[in-house]
Protein backbone atom coordinates (compact mmCIF):
# COMPACT_ATOMS: atom_id res chain seq x y z
CA UNK A 1 0.00 0.00 0.00
CA UNK A 2 2.85 2.37 0.79
CA UNK A 3 4.43 1.90 -2.65
CA UNK A 4 1.09 2.43 -4.36
CA UNK A 5 0.27 5.51 -2.26
CA UNK A 6 3.51 7.18 -3.37
CA UNK A 7 3.08 6.51 -7.08
CA UNK A 8 0.72 8.61 -9.19
CA UNK A 9 -0.48 5.41 -10.85
CA UNK A 10 -3.46 5.39 -8.48
CA UNK A 11 -4.67 8.74 -9.90
CA UNK A 12 -5.59 7.25 -13.27
CA UNK A 13 -6.25 3.67 -12.28
CA UNK A 14 -9.78 3.61 -10.88
CA UNK A 15 -9.30 0.14 -9.34
CA UNK A 16 -6.33 1.47 -7.34
CA UNK A 17 -8.22 4.58 -6.21
CA UNK A 18 -11.16 2.41 -5.19
CA UNK A 19 -8.83 0.35 -3.01
CA UNK A 20 -7.95 3.42 -0.94
CA UNK A 21 -11.59 4.45 -0.73
CA UNK A 22 -12.43 0.95 0.47
CA UNK A 23 -10.13 1.39 3.48
CA UNK A 24 -12.29 4.18 4.90
CA UNK A 25 -14.66 6.09 2.62
CA UNK A 26 -15.17 9.01 5.02
CA UNK A 27 -11.47 9.40 5.75
CA UNK A 28 -10.73 9.16 2.01
CA UNK A 29 -12.97 12.19 1.48
CA UNK A 30 -11.67 14.05 4.55
CA UNK A 31 -8.09 13.70 3.30
CA UNK A 32 -9.09 15.04 -0.14
CA UNK A 33 -8.24 11.68 -1.68
CA UNK A 34 -4.67 11.72 -0.38
CA UNK A 35 -3.59 8.09 0.04
CA UNK A 36 -0.46 8.91 2.06
CA UNK A 37 -2.49 10.92 4.57
CA UNK A 38 -5.21 8.25 4.62
CA UNK A 39 -2.70 5.58 5.58
CA UNK A 40 -1.28 7.84 8.28
CA UNK A 41 -4.70 8.50 9.83
CA UNK A 42 -6.58 5.23 9.44
CA UNK A 43 -7.35 3.49 12.73
CA UNK A 44 -5.14 0.48 13.44
CA UNK A 45 -8.31 -1.51 14.23
CA UNK A 46 -9.54 -0.87 10.70
CA UNK A 47 -6.28 -2.18 9.26
CA UNK A 48 -6.66 -5.34 11.34
CA UNK A 49 -10.20 -5.78 9.99
CA UNK A 50 -8.96 -5.39 6.42
CA UNK A 51 -6.17 -7.90 7.04
CA UNK A 52 -8.91 -10.48 7.66
CA UNK A 53 -11.13 -9.39 4.74
CA UNK A 54 -10.47 -11.79 1.87
CA UNK A 55 -12.28 -9.53 -0.62
CA UNK A 56 -10.10 -6.57 0.30
CA UNK A 57 -6.94 -8.69 0.19
CA UNK A 58 -7.82 -9.96 -3.29
CA UNK A 59 -8.45 -6.38 -4.42
CA UNK A 60 -5.07 -5.37 -2.98
CA UNK A 61 -3.30 -8.26 -4.74
CA UNK A 62 -4.96 -7.37 -8.06
CA UNK A 63 -3.93 -3.70 -7.80
CA UNK A 64 -0.38 -4.59 -6.69
CA UNK A 65 0.03 -6.97 -9.65
CA UNK A 66 -1.28 -4.33 -12.06
CA UNK A 67 1.12 -1.73 -10.63
CA UNK A 68 4.08 -4.11 -10.97
CA UNK A 69 3.10 -4.91 -14.56
CA UNK A 70 2.83 -1.19 -15.32
CA UNK A 71 6.22 -0.44 -13.76
CA UNK A 72 7.85 -3.36 -15.56
CA UNK A 73 6.77 -2.49 -19.07
CA UNK A 74 9.15 -0.80 -21.50
CA UNK A 75 8.92 2.99 -21.67
CA UNK A 76 6.53 4.46 -24.22
CA UNK A 77 9.07 7.11 -25.15
CA UNK A 78 12.84 7.04 -25.08
CA UNK A 79 14.79 10.26 -25.09
CA UNK A 80 18.31 10.12 -26.43
CA UNK A 81 20.87 10.82 -23.73
CA UNK A 82 18.63 9.78 -20.82
CA UNK A 83 19.07 6.47 -19.13
CA UNK A 84 15.90 4.35 -18.61
CA UNK A 85 14.15 5.13 -15.34
CA UNK A 86 15.33 8.74 -15.14
Supply the pTM of this predicted model: 0.83
Q: What is the mean pLDDT of residues 23-33?
A: 98
Q: Using one digit for the tens of pLDDT, what is the confidence trace for 47-63?
A: 999 999 999 999 999 99
> Which of 10-19, 44-53, 66-75, 77-86 is the least confident region?
77-86
Indicate if the pLDDT at residue 41 is higher than 60: yes
**pLDDT class for 79, splitting at 50, 70, 90?**
confident
Number of domains present in the structure of the chain = 1
82 within some domain: no
Q: Provide CB contacts within 8 A for 31, sequence distance 6+.
A: 37, 38, 41
The residue segments making up the domain with residue 10 are 2-67
**Considering the domain boundaries, does residue 12 fall inside one?**
yes
CA of 36: how far to CAs of 28, 58, 80, in Å? 10, 21, 34
Amino acid sequence: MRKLSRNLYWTWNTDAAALFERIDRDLWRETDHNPVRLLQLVRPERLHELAEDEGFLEHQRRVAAALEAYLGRPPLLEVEGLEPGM
